[in-house]
């Protein structure tokens, strides 16, 4: 797969690739070993470093999330390099099975992500109360600050272990989303997604559970005449109330245009990366079980393409572009949403078939101006 052309000012970045298949010579452990040696140097992990392996544990009901064996091998390699690894993810903005510490850990364990299977701790990065550290976003236009989840902020090294899927807003659920959306607290997630930074309160759904009264740090909720009242002027936009409201009276103000969400996520990613030295961050993209929806979906459709392999790079944008080009170049998975369509042909626009409102070239343009890396890449097979 040749590198795509972009602005002459952008230098070409190296993306390493281990293709799927090939028998014993390309088993997952050997592939991870080879890629790790290429992108992780002696400067990346020094003795005693805390190393966050950021991945998505998969939503309950989803069966095509990233395999625990990939995280396990990375944890083994980190320990061998002298670091202290831990697998981590953040709480969701919406209410499902990963909206609080306990439900998220239960879901992770159900999917095979435990201390015993991974050989390292499993931490929910923002903990009990969506804890994090607010940092300035470099060159920000829309998101002036973002709140980096505590266990990500406290890490010395970040290994961004992303699962390649399509996504209704990005259009890839890959390295960028795993970092820019996946490493921040609910407070920032709300600012990335929402038309406003306040919840939508529907008093008719309120069951008087009282959790908003106990949890709201801004005291925006009050009980008057056996009814909950919400004062958005006091709301601090932390996002915690969404996940704890028993009656579903608090709604997320979804609906911001996808291009705005993409730009904001790029800015949040810059904020996360600003807390690490450049040599302390690496990106792995597992291009297997490439489903039409992201791992936040509670059900898994068939993959849209056969398994592709694993990509790795120190360049966030380049690794996602290599993965995107690989999806478009691949044939359709039999019986999938794109099978039998024009876009499902090798070289066809599979994203347009699944999410017709998204424009891949516009997305490339947003990444080109994001300051996160280069659209140009050299693909080197290992």
pLDDT digits (tens, 9 = 90+) for 261-289: 999 999 999 999 999 999 999 999 999 99
Share of the chain above pLDDT 70, in %: 96
Q: Find tokens 């705005």 and name the residue.
A: 260
Burial of 232 (0-12, 13-18, 19+ CB in 10 A): middle
Burial of 114 (0-12, 13-18, 19+ CB in 10 A): middle
- 378 pLDDT band, cuts 50/70/90, is very high
- Residue with the larger pLDDT of the pair 251 and 12: 12
User: pTM to 2 decimals?
Assistant: 0.91
For residues 229-254, average pLDDT: 83
Closest by Cα among 121, 158, 152, 122 to 135:
152
Burial of 249 (0-12, 13-18, 19+ CB in 10 A): buried
Above 70 in pLDDT, residue 228? yes
Distance CA 311, CA 119 (A): 23
Q: Write the secondary structure of 171-231 as one string of H (helix), E (strand) and C (coil).
A: CEECHHHHHHCCCECHHHHHHHHCCCCCCEECHHHCCCCCHHHHHCCCCCEEEECCEEEEC
Above 80 in pLDDT, residue 211? yes
Closest by Cα among 222, 287, 292 to 1:
287
What are the Cα distances from residue 283, in Å, to 153, 279, 302, 338?
17, 11, 25, 28
pLDDT digits (tens, 9 = 90+) for 40-79: 999 999 999 999 999 999 999 999 999 999 999 999 999 9
Q: Determine how many CB atoms are found less than 10 A away from the CB of residue 50.
A: 14
Distance CA 338, CA 345 (A): 8
Distance CA 319, CA 312 (A): 6
- The pLDDT, as a whole number, for residue 5 is 35
Q: Identify the structural domains of the chain with CATH numbers, from first to last.
A: 13-186+257-381 (3.40.50), 200-251 (3.30.70.20)
- 344 pLDDT band, cuts 50/70/90, is very high
Dihedral sign computed on CA atoms, order 106, 108, 112, 113: negative
- The pLDDT, as a whole number, for residue 354 is 96
Distance CA 12, CA 304 (A): 29
Report the SS3 class of residue 145.
strand
Which of 218-222, 236-240, 365-369 bottoms out in mean pLDDT, i.e. has the lowest? 236-240
Q: Determine how many CB atoms are found less than 10 A away from the CB of residue 24.
A: 6
Above 90 in pLDDT, residue 299? no
Above 80 in pLDDT, residue 2? no
Q: How far is CA 320 from the centre of its chain?
A: 12
Above 90 in pLDDT, residue 137? yes
Q: Determine how many CB atoms are found less than 10 A away from the CB of residue 156.
A: 17
- 10 pLDDT band, cuts 50/70/90, is low
Distance CA 211, CA 335 (A): 45
- The pLDDT, as a whole number, for residue 242 is 79
Contact criterion met (CB below 8 Å) for 327 and 305: yes
Which of 94-108, 137-151, 336-350 bottoms out in mean pLDDT, i.e. has the lowest? 94-108
The tokens for 357 are: 């409102």
Distance CA 162, CA 177 (A): 8
- Bridge-based pairing of strands 13-19 and 309-313 is antiparallel
What's the mean per-residue pLDDT of the chain?
92
Write the DSSP symbol of residue 289. S
Closest by Cα among 293, 274, 266 to 365:
266
């Amino acid at each position: 797969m040749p590198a795509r052309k972009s602005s002459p000012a952008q230098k070409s970045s190296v993306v390493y690739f281990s293709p799927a298949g090939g028998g014993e010579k390309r088993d997952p452990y050997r592939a991870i070993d080879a890629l790790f040696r290429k992108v992780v140097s002696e400067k990346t992990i020094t003795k005693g470093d805390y190393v966050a392996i950021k991945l998505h544990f998969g939503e309950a009901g989803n069966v095509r999330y990233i395999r625990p064996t990939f995280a396990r091998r990375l944890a083994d390699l980190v320990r061998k390099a002298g670091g202290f690894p831990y697998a981590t993810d953040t709480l969701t903005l919406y209410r499902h099975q990963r909206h609080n510490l306990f439900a998220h850990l239960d879901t992770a364990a159900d999917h095979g992500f435990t201390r015993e299977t991974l050989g390292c701790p499993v931490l929910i990065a923002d903990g009990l109360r969506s804890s994090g550290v607010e940092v300035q976003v470099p060159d920000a236009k829309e998101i002036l600050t973002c709140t980096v989840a505590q266990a990500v902020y406290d890490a010395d090294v970040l290994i961004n272990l992303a699962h390649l899927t399509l996504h209704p807003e990005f259009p890839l659920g890959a390295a960028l989303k795993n970092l820019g959306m996946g490493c921040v607290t609910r407070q920032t997630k709300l600012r990335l997604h929402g038309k406003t930074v306040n919840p939508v309160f529907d008093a008719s759904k309120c069951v008087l559970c009282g959790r908003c009264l106990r949890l709201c740090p801004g005291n925006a909720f009050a009980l008057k005449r056996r009814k909950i009242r919400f004062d958005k002027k006091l709301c601090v936009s932390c996002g915690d109330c969404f996940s704890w409201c028993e009656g579903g009276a608090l709604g997320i103000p979804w609906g911001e245009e996808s291009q705005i969400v993409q730009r904001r996520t790029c800015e949040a990613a810059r904020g996360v990366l600003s807390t690490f030295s450049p040599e302390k961050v690496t990106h792995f993209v597992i291009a297997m079980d490439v489903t039409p929806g992201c791992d936040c979906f509670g059900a898994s459709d068939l993959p849209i393409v056969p398994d592709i392999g694993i990509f790795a790079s120190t360049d966030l944008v380049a690794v996602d572009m290599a993965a995107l080009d690989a999806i478009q170049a691949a044939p359709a998975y039999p019986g999938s949403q794109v099978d039998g369509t024009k876009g499902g042909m090798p070289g066809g626009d599979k994203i347009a078939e699944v999410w017709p409102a998204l424009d891949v070239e516009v997305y490339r343009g947003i990444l080109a101006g994001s300051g996160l890396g280069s659209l140009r890449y050299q693909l080197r097979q290992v």
